[in-house]
């Protein structure tokens, strides 16, 4: 199965009265607005909305919307609503507390509509060591790390753990929601496609992330090359970018080979589409000599859409499992 979540330890003294929900019978709070998850998902990402609508197993569509919407809400609060680190850590700790208590089947009270989505998801999860549970734990680790790292340099080990948590979460969600009852290899390459995508994502958003206080280059590299996080135009930073682009490309190649072994065709389509979203960015960075820029409109352009279409066609032409979409 997947690795255990990697949590950034913190010595911050917290106000537990703020973080621990009060106790009440759980049946009174697990009635989330059924329209809310889909509305949040569609507003945040139409691609995600329609991927869920058309590719996810029919009996898991509602929970897939809840899964995306809940963590979209958490991410937005950490990025946009909570500017102080103690408040971010208090919010993240509250979400961990809710998650843990729900999995222990303890009653909860005072949950907002978005937190009720999480409670409803966990109530539905009756499989031991399920992909959904892995997704929730690892994505919560990602959110907690982001809450803690804002405004601080991170180590190479922390960066690697961050990417592994994200890759584990997304991959396990993919297999849980799409073709959950069909074969998918548990090989070393299981998380490689999403690992490549996350490496690319961090490069693509470098300028925006630095402005927001998120630094995606390790402290050891900065110190060794005597540069600052803002020196994105420097030769040293460009060398770092080149090494990450080549690493992402290698992960994508391994990820494609892995996806070819996945039995469910809808799952393969979703996996290839996920990689296609980022391949154009890697191509643009390479063409420009590994010099990053503030925006990459290619990912929203007609060319980007055509590239994704070709990824679909290439997948559908694969004859490994034949037949119609399953």
Q: One digit per residue, pLDDT tens: the chain, 326 residues?
A: 444 444 433 333 334 344 444 433 333 333 446 788 999 999 998 888 998 999 999 999 999 999 999 999 999 999 888 889 999 999 999 999 999 999 999 988 899 999 999 999 999 999 889 999 999 999 999 999 999 999 999 999 999 999 999 999 999 999 999 999 999 999 989 999 999 999 999 999 999 999 999 999 999 999 999 999 999 999 999 999 999 999 999 999 999 999 999 999 999 999 998 899 899 999 999 999 999 999 998 655 544 444 444 444 444 343 333 333 44
pLDDT at 21: 45
Q: Of 150, 170, 200, which residue sits at a domain end?
A: 150
What tokens does 84 get? Answer: 């102080």
Examine the domain organization and report whether 167 and 283 are in the same domain.
Answer: yes
Per-residue pLDDT of 36-88, as tens digits, reads 899 999 999 888 899 899 999 999 999 999 999 999 999 999 988 888 999 99
Looking at the structure, do residues 228 and 242 belong to the same domain, yes or no?
yes
Whether residue 326 is contained in a domain is answered as no
**55 shares its domain with 158:** no
pLDDT tens for 230-249 read 999 999 999 999 999 999 99
Could you give the CA distance from residue 133 to residue 72 in angstroms, rounded to a whole number? Answer: 17
Residues 59 and 83 in one domain: yes
Phi then psi dihedrals of residue 48, to 5 deg: -65, -40
Is 6 contained in some domain? no
The pLDDT assigned to 10 comes to 38
110 and 158 inside one domain: no
> Tell me, what CATH number does 227's domain have?
1.10.600.10
Query: Which segments of 77-218 does DSSP mark as H helices, in order?
Result: 85-103, 113-124, 131-149, 156-177, 192-204, 206-212
- 171 with 306, same domain: the answer is yes
Burial label for 81, CB within 10 Å (0-12, 13-18, 19+), is exposed
**Given 133, 150, 167, which residue is the final one in a domain?**
150
In a domain, 10, yes or no: no
Choose the final residue of a domain: 119, 150, 181.
Answer: 150
Q: Which domain holds residue 177?
A: 153-318
Are residue 64 and residue 34 in the same domain, yes or no?
Answer: yes
CB 198 within 8 A of CB 168: no
Domain for residue 101, yes or no?
yes
pTM comes to: 0.83
pLDDT of residue 74: 96
- Percent helix, strand and coil across the chain, each to the nearest 5: 70, 0, 30
Residue 95 inside a domain? The answer is yes
* pLDDT given at position 299: 59
Asked if 108 and 122 sit in the same domain, the reply is: yes
Q: Are residues 132 and 182 located together in one domain of the fold?
A: no
Based on the fold, state whether residues 206 and 226 are members of the same structural domain: yes
* The two structure tokens encoding residue 37: 């998850």
Full DSSP string of 37-76? HHHHHHHH-HHHHHHHHHHS-GGGHHHHHHHHHHHHHHHH
My answer on whether 42 and 161 are in the same domain is no
Number of domains in the chain: 2
Question: What tokens does 227 get?
Answer: 């540069």
pLDDT for 295: 94
Residues 178 and 134 occupy one common structural domain: no
Tell whether 169 is covered by a domain.
Answer: yes
Classify the C-alpha dihedral 199-170-300-214 as positive or negative.
Answer: negative
Q: Is residue 217 part of a domain?
A: yes
């Amino acid at each position: 199965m997947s690795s255990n979540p990697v949590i950034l330890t913190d010595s911050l003294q917290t106000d537990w009265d703020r973080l621990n929900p009060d106790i009440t019978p759980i049946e009174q709070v697990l009635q989330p607005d059924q329209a809310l998850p889909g509305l949040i998902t569609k507003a945040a990402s139409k691609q995600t909305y329609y991927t869920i609508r058309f590719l996810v197993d029919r009996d898991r569509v509602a929970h897939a919307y809840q899964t995306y919407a809940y963590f979209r809400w958490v991410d937005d609060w950490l990025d946009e609503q909570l500017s102080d680190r103690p408040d971010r850590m208090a919010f993240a700790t509250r979400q961990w507390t809710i998650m843990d208590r729900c999995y222990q089947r303890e009653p909860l009270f005072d949950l907002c509509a978005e937190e009720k989505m999480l409670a409803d998801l966990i109530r539905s999860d009756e499989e031991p060591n399920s992909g959904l549970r892995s997704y929730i734990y690892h994505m919560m680790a990602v959110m907690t790390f982001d809450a803690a790292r804002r405004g601080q340099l991170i180590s190479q080990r922390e960066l690697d753990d961050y990417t592994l948590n994200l890759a584990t979460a997304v991959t396990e969600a993919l297999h849980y929601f799409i073709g959950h009852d069909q074969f998918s290899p548990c090989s070393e390459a299981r998380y490689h496609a999403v690992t490549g995508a996350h490496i690319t994502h961090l490069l693509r958003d470098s300028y925006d992330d630095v402005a927001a206080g998120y630094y995606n280059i390790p402290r050891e590299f900065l110190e060794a090359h005597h540069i600052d996080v803002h020196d994105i135009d420097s030769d040293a930073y460009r060398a770092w970018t080149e090494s990450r682009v080549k690493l992402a490309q290698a992960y994508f190649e391994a990820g494609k080979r892995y996806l070819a072994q996945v039995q469910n065709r809808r799952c393969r389509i979703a996996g290839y589409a996920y990689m296609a979203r980022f391949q154009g960015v890697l191509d643009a960075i390479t063409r420009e000599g590994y010099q990053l820029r503030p925006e990459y409109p290619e990912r929203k352009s007609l060319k980007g859409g055509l590239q994704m279409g070709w990824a679909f066609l290439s997948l559908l032409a694969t004859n490994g499992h034949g037949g119609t979409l399953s």
